[in-house]
Structure 1
Amino acid sequence: MTATTTARSAYPPNVDDLVPRAVDLARELGEVPSRNKLMKTFRVGADKAKALREALDRLAEQDKFRSDLHLHLVSRGSLAEAPLLHLAPALPADPDEAAEVPGAAAAVLPLPLTPTDPGPEATPEPAPSQISLADQPAGRPVTWPVLILCLPAFVAIWGGWVEMGRLTGFGRVKLLPGIADSFEIDTAITLPIGVETYAAFALFVWLSGRAMGDAREFAKYSALGSLALGALGQIAYHLMAAAGWTSAPWPITAAVSCIPVAVLGMGAALAHLMHHR
């Protein structure tokens, strides 16, 4: 629903000429418009809007105007068996004057509107001068410093896991024996790639909000577990390196050898949960 608007003219109309259009505006709004609304719609001054509002108030006191307005709203579907229009007291434009009007703050019109017709003044937009900086939309968050933070962490974590792999039996193997005997790979790199990559992926699934229910819960606890496992691996390696050990004790070797299998299982489980959420 749009209220009646009047273009600016070089000869402003007088109050008598504006009364019929103000009555139409009241029927569109479902209430007697306020002085500010009349000023904005018909582009008149405060004095003329006040006089126009007083004219509408006098007309509204007549039963014929109230009945016609009520029947008009019922016919267009804005009212359904609603009581006749009750007028609210006119609110002065000055806030200090509004405080002196008895019942002005709590005055309402019992005209129930349909959910699809909230009314033209249901959600008034604040003036540009009244919008604070806190109401301004936030820009895209800056994430590039994370890349700088990742560089030293990558070097330390990668080197720690690779050396841990060598202490626990990981080393160079022929990946395609009998097919390409010269093609060898150091299996120690599987530890940093598997553990830390899964931890970062699970953190993303948990905190990004792209997964819900069981998938989000699994991502949360497996991410925390992977980070804890990575921290323990780094601690174990540095302790053994500081002590001058050339090989890890068998419990550590047994635990580290199971990491690639555990990472594969957690990654597959998380992917299935995300596709069945």
Structure 2
Amino acid sequence: MAALLPRVRAWVADLGAVPSRNRIMAEFKVGAPKARAILAALTDENPTPPPPRALHAVPEPTSEPDPEVETEPAAEETEAQVTPAADPVPNPEPVRVWPVVLLALPAFVAIWGGWVGLGRLTGFGPIQLLPGIWDDLSFNSAITLPIGVEAYAAFALRVWLSGSTRSGRAREFAKWSAFASLGLGMAGQIAYHLMAAAAVTIAPWPITTLVSCLPVVVLGSGAALAHLLANTSDAEVTA
């Protein structure tokens, strides 16, 4: 302070007027307390302004914030400090598989037996796969009915209900074909059990005609659904 005050007096003499606190701070790079003390000393020494002298242009110092004055934090920072962090979303409980298996086993046995029995009543049975090449290789075509119809119904249901299916046309086709496949499965079970209860050994021709067409219908529906899944031109983003 004692060493700085003579320099300030000489600067004030050249300036011709008592400067403000901010100008003293900007000119001599001092803080607000020291600038106020220097300004008070200059005011006591010069109660009246000195006569004007030759002045030279002095650039107006840029206003700097007072280092002693604490600025308030921004509203966003205050809210960020006050607002508690959101609780993390708990992980969803995994789906247990054993209840589904327990439900599916008896249904699988009943459906398998009904379709195989209906196939026998409608002409499905053992066939030679490679006649003249391997005559002993035979296959009972009655098992193609439960494998084809019920497997397609499960596949179509998965395509319809899965969130990963992006094609709207594939989802729509899978929904209605799944309903149709399940309906055919129920009709087949009803037909077999009614004929078995009546001791029928050969199914009527309308039932035989319908059942014989099922493998072709399943093949066509499966191929159509696979093509719709591969076609992404009408894909829609699912949430």
Structure 1 unaligned spans of 5+: 1-18, 38-119
TM-score of the superposed pair, with normalisation by structure 2 = 0.63
Aligned-partner SS, 1:175: strand
- The Cα of 1:170 is off from its aligned counterpart by 0.4
Whole-Å Cα distance in 2 between the matches of residues 33 and 20 of structure 1?
A: 21
Kindly provide the CA deviation profile for residues 157-196 of structure 1, in whole angstroms up to 9, marking residues without a partner as x.
Answer: 0010000000000011101111100000000000000000
Q: Read off the aligned partner of 1:250 and give its amino acid letter.
A: W
Looking at CA atoms only, which structure, 1 or 2, has the larger radius of gyration?
Answer: 2
**Measured at CA, do residues 32 and 233 of structure 1 come closer, stay the same or move farther in structure 2, by a change above 3 Å?**
closer
SS at match of 2:94: coil
Letter in 1 for 2:187: L
Q: Give the Cα separation in 1 of the matches to 2:229 and 2:183.
A: 23
Change (3 A) 1:216 1:180: same
Distance in 2, Cα, partners of 1:200 & 1:138 = 25
1:144 paired with 2:98, answer yes
Does residue 125 of the first structure (1) align with residue 125 of the second (2)?
no
SS of the residue corresponding to residue 164 of structure 2 reads coil
Over the aligned positions, Cα root-mean-square deviation in angstroms equals 2.4
Q: How does 1:8-157 map to 2 (within 5 A)?
A: 23=71, 26=73, 30-31=74-75, 120=80, 124-126=84-86, 136-157=90-111
Deviations 1:123-155 (A, max 9, x none): 7414x7xx8xxx633221223211111110110
- Tell me how far 1:31 sits from its aligned partner: 2.9
In 1, distance between residues paired with 2:83 and 2:226? 44
Q: Letter of the 1:125 partner, please give it.
A: A
Corresponding residue of 1:175: 129
The yes-or-no answer on 1:239 pairing with 2:194 is yes
Aligned to 2:45: none
The change in CA–CA distance for 1:156 and 1:32 in structure 2 (over 3 A counts) is: closer
Report what 1:50 is aligned to. none
Instruction: Give the unaligned 5+ runs of structure 2.
Output: 1-66, 233-239
Equivalent of residue 270 in structure 1, options 220, 225, 230 = 225
- Which amino acid in the other structure matches residue 227 of structure 2? H
Could you tell me how far 1:122 is from its partner in structure 2?
10
Change in Cα spacing, 1:239 to 1:138, as seen in structure 2 (3 Å) is: same
CA distance in 2, matches of 1:167, 1:122: 77
Q: How many residues end up aligned between the 2 structures?
A: 165
Q: What secondary structure sits across from 1:183 in the alignment?
A: strand
RCO (CA 8 Å, sep 6+): is it higher in 1 or 2? 2
- The secondary structure found in structure 2 opposite 1:258 is helix
Per the TM alignment, residue 261 of structure 1 is displaced from its structure 2 partner at its CA by: 0.2
Asked if 1:199 corresponds to 2:153, the answer is yes
CA distance in 1, matches of 2:186, 2:117: 14
TM-score (norm 1): 0.55
Q: What one-letter code is carried by the residue in structure 1 that aligns with 2:223?
A: A
1:215 paired with 2:170, answer: yes
Residue 31 of structure 1 aligns to which amino acid in structure 2?
A
Aligned-partner SS, 1:224: helix
Of 117, 138, 142, the residue aligned with 1:163 is 117
Give aligned-pair identity as a percent. Answer: 59
Per the TM alignment, residue 33 of structure 1 is displaced from its structure 2 partner at its CA by 6.2
Counterpart residue type for residue 172 of structure 2: E
Matched residue type, 1:137: N
Distance change >3 Å, CA 244–CA 21, structure 1 → 2? farther
Mapped partners of 1:184, 1:248: distance in 2 = 24
